């Protein structure tokens, strides 16, 4: 079997990625939020131009799948009308910003994120997946999510921290984005083709003490589906949102906006907690923590169907489960207790590892896997 192709970049709206069922078009919501008009409009676009689903990514973005090449430009026009598109493709690529979903309108997190968005053009040239996190609440919520430069809260106020460093540098709201741009410039001046993420630069080359010294505040408990002060969280199995059902849930719950997270959860602002059988509403549901890529036939590199098997195995596997269509392991980059890797229509079994690791067993059919004790 030939090695899977690692693209090294993420799709966008201006620069979509071809998949097995058409183009993947990524939408990056500003401040991780769509108002009700934008959210309902995106649901309509997913039905009109895509396959009827919206993918929620681990970078808190939204993706339409199955878009025909001939429909790409009409779709861009519709996204622009909803104010969900950057006019400049270069700015879209740079706008890779995670925002803690529990921010209040106009608070420090919102103000910093807006200033960063306004000043993206001042950043140096950076690798395609380089990103930022604005996580200034107490406690932190984004510590386990991918970001290269982080704005967080320390014991006495705001800090700027390079990913991979245990501590950061105290900054003020007035100079935080100036210092973030300076840290990004330091990275741009020092990274190599082998160290294209901040944590790798820090591990290999170290980090000047100028950027260190103050620890961030504690990490919070994971958010679960259910009501909160801002509305109600709902989960999405495998990060897949059925567009029509999402629109119905927005209307029925009375939600005024949709916030997205990197954890396969959406927050319906002002939305009531109501029955939603097409979404995950129980924090103990294993589908919330089971990882599975789209698989065949939706990805041209996948060698097996994935999600039907993942749904069937999720309640049976009393451990973390990852079902991948190929050894690239896009749905989960870290290890899982049980990882199944598609190969010629069957699966290889990896225990306590990643999709690219050496399997313990090979060539297992879905029927065999359903009859096994995988833990």
Query: Could you read off the pLDDT tens digit of each residue along the chain, which spans 375 residues?
Result: 445 544 555 788 998 988 878 999 999 999 999 999 999 999 999 999 999 999 999 899 999 999 999 999 999 999 999 999 988 888 888 899 999 999 999 999 999 999 999 999 999 999 989 999 999 999 999 999 999 999 999 999 999 999 999 999 999 999 999 999 999 999 999 999 999 999 999 999 999 999 999 999 999 999 999 999 999 999 999 999 999 999 999 999 999 999 999 999 999 999 999 999 999 999 999 999 899 999 988 888 899 999 999 999 999 998 899 999 999 998 898 899 999 999 999 999 999 999 999 999 999 999 999 999 998
b/e sequence 74-100, b meaning 16+ C-beta within 10 Å = ebbebbeebebbbeeeeebbbbbbbbb
156: CB partners within 8 A, 6+ apart: 170, 214
Distance from first CA to last CA of the chain, Å, rounded? Answer: 27
CA 20 to chain centre: 21
Return the domain boundaries, the chain. Answer: 17-91+223-269, 103-211, 289-371
CATH code reported for the domain at 289-371:
3.30.413.10
Is residue 224 packed enough to be buried (19+ CB in 10 Å), middle (13-18) or exposed (0-12)? middle
Are both 17-91+223-269 and 289-371 of the same fold?
no
Selecting from 3.30.2020.10, 3.40.50.920, 3.30.70.120, 3.90.480.10, what CATH number does the domain 17-91+223-269 have? Answer: 3.90.480.10
Residue 239: what are its φ and ψ, rounded to 5°?
70, 20
């Amino acid at each position: 079997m030939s090695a899977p192709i690692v693209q090294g970049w993420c799709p966008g709206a201006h620069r979509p990625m071809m998949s097995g069922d058409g183009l993947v078009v990524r939408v990056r919501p500003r401040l991780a939020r769509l108002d009700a008009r934008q959210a309902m409009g995106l649901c309509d676009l997913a039905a009109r131009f895509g396959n009827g689903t919206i993918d929620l990514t681990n970078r808190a973005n939204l993706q339409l799948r199955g878009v025909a090449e001939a429909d790409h430009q009409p779709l861009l026009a519709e996204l622009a009308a909803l104010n969900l598109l950057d006019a400049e493709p270069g700015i879209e690529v740079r706008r890779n910003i995670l925002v803690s979903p529990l921010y209040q309108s106009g608070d420090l997190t919102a103000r910093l994120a807006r200033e960063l968005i306004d000043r993206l053009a001042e950043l140096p040239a950076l690798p395609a997946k380089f990103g930022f996190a604005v996580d200034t609440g107490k406690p932190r919520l984004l510590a386990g999510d991918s970001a290269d430069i982080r704005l967080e809260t320390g014991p006495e106020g705001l800090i700027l921290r390079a990913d991979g460093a245990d501590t950061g540098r105290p900054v003020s709201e007035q100079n935080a984005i100036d210092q973030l741009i300076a840290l990004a410039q330091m990275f741009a001046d020092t990274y190599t083709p082998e160290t294209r993420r901040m944590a790798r630069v820090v591990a290999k080359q170290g980090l000047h003490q100028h950027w260190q010294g103050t620890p961030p505040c504690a990490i919070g408990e994971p958010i679960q589906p259910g009501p909160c002060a801002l509305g109600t969280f709902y989960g999405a199995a495998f990060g897949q949102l059925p567009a029509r059902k999402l629109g119905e849930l927005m209307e029925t719950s009375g939600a005024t906006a949709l916030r997205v997270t990197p954890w396969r959860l959406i927050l319906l602002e002002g939305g009531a907690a109501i029955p939603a059988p097409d979404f995950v509403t129980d924090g103990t549901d294993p589908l919330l923590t089971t990882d599975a890529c789209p698989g065949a036939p939706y990805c041209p590199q996948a060698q097996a169907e994935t999600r039907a098997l993942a749904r069937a195995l999720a309640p049976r596997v009393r451990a973390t489960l990852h079902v991948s269509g190929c050894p690239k392991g896009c749905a989960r980059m870290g290890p899982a207790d049980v990882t199944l890797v598609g190969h010629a229509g069957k699966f290889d079994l990896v225990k306590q590892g990643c999709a690219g690791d050496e399997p313990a067993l090979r060539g297992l059919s879905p029927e065999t896997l359903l009859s096994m004790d995988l833990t």
